Amino acid sequence: MTEFIEGVNLRKVKNEDLKSFVDCYIKAYSDLEEYKYRKVSDIKNYFKWLLKRDSEALYVAERNSKAIGFVAGDRHWVGFDGKKVLEIHELFVIPEEQKKGIGKGLLEKVLDLGKRSGLEIAELWVGEHNKRAQKFYLKLGFEEVGKWGKWICMRRPLRF
């Protein structure tokens, strides 16, 4: 495990993290009704899908051995313009641990993996009304490049 914030450890996700993922997801999405999975079975299936997509690009942040946030990247994704990108499928931190640099640390970990894997672009989709997340991503070098329905596509180069 790598320590990136005092008292917080970061490690790769394992199958055994399913329950922690579900619990954290429910807490983190408590105020994002229009963007979340509502059924526990759907959240579990989402976790399993993320693991199948790229198990090496899933990380969990823990404090005192308790999960507090997750990031899920995908180095095998074909992006908005048809080119291979590092897709960020998911990034969330439970409310009581937000604004402490944990989300930034998780994101930087998966962006570094994408860079080391030879990818040039990171891409993600964020809800059009999720202004807090949009502001967070803009601060970290992402910019809006497209929109589809209620989702905004954001990208940034992996090498500045």
Residue-range domains of the chain with CATH: 2-157 (3.40.630.30)
**Residues 68/102, Cβ–Cβ less than 8 Å:** yes
The four Cα atoms 54, 10, 63, 133 give a dihedral, to 10 degrees, of -60
Find the radius of gyration of the CA atoms of the chain.
15
Query: In terms of pTM, does the model score above 0.85?
Result: yes
Specify the pLDDT at position 4: 63
pLDDT tens string, the chain, 160 residues long: the values are 344 688 899 999 999 999 999 999 999 999 887 888 899 999 999 999 999 999 999 999 999 999 999 999 999 999 877 889 999 999 999 999 999 999 999 999 999 999 999 999 999 999 999 999 999 999 999 999 999 999 999 999 998 6
How far apart CA 141 and CA 156 sit, in angstroms, is 6
